[in-house]
Structure 1
Amino acid sequence: MTPQDAPDSRWSDLDRPPLNATALRRALLRPDALWTALDVVTATGSTNSDLAAKADALGEGAVLVAEEQTAGRGRLDRRWSAPARSGLFFSVLLKPGETVPMERWGWLPLLTGVAVATGLARAAGVDTALKWPNDLLVTVEGQERKAGGILAERAGTDGVVVGIGLNVTLRADELPVPGAGSLALAGAVSTDRDTLLRAVLRSLEHWYGTWRAAAGDPAGSGLQEAYAAGCATLGRSVRAELPGGRALTGEAVAVDGDGRLVLATAEGVQRPVAAGDIVHLRPAAP
């Protein structure tokens, strides 16, 4: 077997080459950087689970990337699957406790959404919209499609693991569900995963540093304003499917200081929603 034919060869799939871990470390791991370690594995069940299991032994800023996830999870333990090397599947370990009160940690998935959208706008030329609380949307043939998601979980004694799954080169016949999309289908100018990962991690480092310097204040850090500007949920009629089988319908009018989605109901009451599935009931305004 020649090196080019080896399963782990960088050239075994010319359309979907593996990530270059050495180059990524060289670009991202600096003495003054947030990122302190970066590992790329061929396959794993869940990068979130793997990183969370080692959270107490690792310093802040550890990054774990998988070329393929066999048991990737979204909110409510929903499965997230995609062909090997077709996307970015990674988790980061953050430990904001020394500078940010725990009651503000709920902003971390929203912060990550802003960081991902900002990084992709620069590196892929794709307008990525945010669906509250943790979905990443792209436009494919005039339709909103989910191209990624974010899952934040407490880890160890003082950590939070934030996982990001992003469809990069998935073709239409590879999409797991009809409402899914990918950067390639959205017309990305670049689908080089090394470039995209560097851009997203640098953007996340910037937003996390700004938020942490403001002691987690979403207004003072500019995070609340940035999230509202990029949120596709605001200004739309939505149905919030709440825990316990309840539902609430109204217009999404704001994201409050606690990161909750505020709905204005038909009764003229504003109701904050802290957790739940959000269904967009009408298309976004042109």
Structure 2
Amino acid sequence: MDTPNATSLSNWPFRWHVQVVDETGSTNADLLAAAAAGAPDRSVLVARHQTAGRGRLDRRWDAPAGANLLVSLLFREIPADPHVLTQRVALAAAVACERLAGVRPSLKWPNDLLLDDVKLAGVLAQAYLGPHPAVVVGIGINVGWAPEGAAHVGHDVQPLDLLAEMLRAYDDLPEDVWLMYRDRLGTIGRRVRVELPDGMVEGVAVDVDPDGQLVVVDDAGKSRRFAVGDIVHLRIARE
């Protein structure tokens, strides 16, 4: 992986190929280019600052230099259901926050980490579909700084320490993470609004399928499954 100003740090968990840069446009874009150039499985690129970071729906993701963890991970070993990679990265990040800072984030379907019901981190996956396919999973975690209305891990945690713990947590995950993901998913039991390109659906999120689809009972009492969509937590459902 040939990235300007990149440095490799020692003492990273085994089998992870980690490089750190001071600044780049987007770690996801850089790793997708690296995938095309033959970068190995478990390549990791972390930037102290991104100038063109993006989340889902092309939302801008920015932070002061060095304050937060802005990182992308490249996977060559792609499971039959590629969404599992985003679940695994989100779970590893949540476990790392718990181990290192003593906070316990929940997950918001499909790809956010929440702390006290406000956003702590977001995950974005993109695929390289060339001769040797890969999936790049990017995550931005508010560590020492957060925008207004968001949460952060804490000023006493260093982003690179959190990354090292996240990689160790990833390696510690079971092969099948569905039950672990389901248990950590704070969307279940919530009244939600599912925002879709052609409209909106409101109801109560009651489960998540092993294939990652969110199960929502809408206001007409119909059970519906969503593979994609933007979720808004409205309020805790009451009996």
TM-score between the two structures when normalised by the length of structure 1: 0.76
The answer to whether residue 233 in structure 2 is matched with residue 280 in structure 1 is yes
Aligned residues: 229
SS in 2 for 1:163: strand
Distance 2:84 2:42 in 1: 18
SS in 1 for 2:11: helix
- Matched-pair contact (CA < 8 Å) for 1:39–1:65: yes
Contiguous gaps of at least 5 residues in structure 1 = 1-19, 212-220
Contiguous gaps of at least 5 residues in structure 2 = 1-6
Q: 2:53 aligns with which of 69, 72, 90?
A: 72
Q: Percent sequence identity over matched residues?
A: 42
1:160 alignment counterpart: 135
The answer to whether residue 82 in structure 2 is matched with residue 105 in structure 1 is yes
The one-letter amino acid of 1:115's match is A
Distance 2:55 2:158 in 1: 24
How big is the shift at 1:152?
0.6
The one-letter amino acid of 1:261's match is L
The answer to whether residue 97 in structure 2 is matched with residue 127 in structure 1 is no
Q: 1:146 aligns with which of 111, 115, 119?
A: 119
1:233 alignment counterpart: 187
The answer to whether residue 102 in structure 2 is matched with residue 117 in structure 1 is no
Superimposed CA distance per residue, residues 87-127 of structure 1 (whole angstroms, 9 cap, x where no aligned partner): 00010100124xx32xx112221221111111211111111
The answer to whether residue 22 in structure 2 is matched with residue 42 in structure 1 is yes
Q: 1:262 aligns with which of 194, 206, 215?
A: 215
The answer to whether residue 12 in structure 2 is matched with residue 27 in structure 1 is yes
SS in 2 for 1:130: strand
2:169 alignment counterpart: 203
SS in 1 for 2:12: helix
Distance 2:99 2:75 in 1: 24
Superimposed CA distance per residue, residues 186-211 of structure 1 (whole angstroms, 9 cap, x where no aligned partner): xx7x412232111111112333xx43
1:9 alignment counterpart: none
How big is the shift at 1:283?
4.5
The one-letter amino acid of 2:214's match is L
Task: Flag the structure with larger Rg.
Answer: 1
Q: Compared with structure 1, are the counterparts of its residues 160 and 281 closer, same or farther at alpha carbon in structure 2 (3 Å cutoff)? A: same
- Matched-pair contact (CA < 8 Å) for 1:120–1:196: yes
SS in 1 for 2:203: strand
TM-score between the two structures when normalised by the length of structure 2: 0.90
- Matched-pair contact (CA < 8 Å) for 1:124–1:196: no
Larger relative helix fraction: 1
- Matched-pair contact (CA < 8 Å) for 2:187–2:205: yes
The one-letter amino acid of 1:70's match is T
Larger relative strand fraction: 2
Q: Compared with structure 1, are the counterparts of its residues 156 and 38 closer, same or farther at alpha carbon in structure 2 (3 Å cutoff)? A: farther
SS in 1 for 2:29: helix
- Matched-pair contact (CA < 8 Å) for 1:234–1:252: yes
How big is the shift at 1:267?
2.1
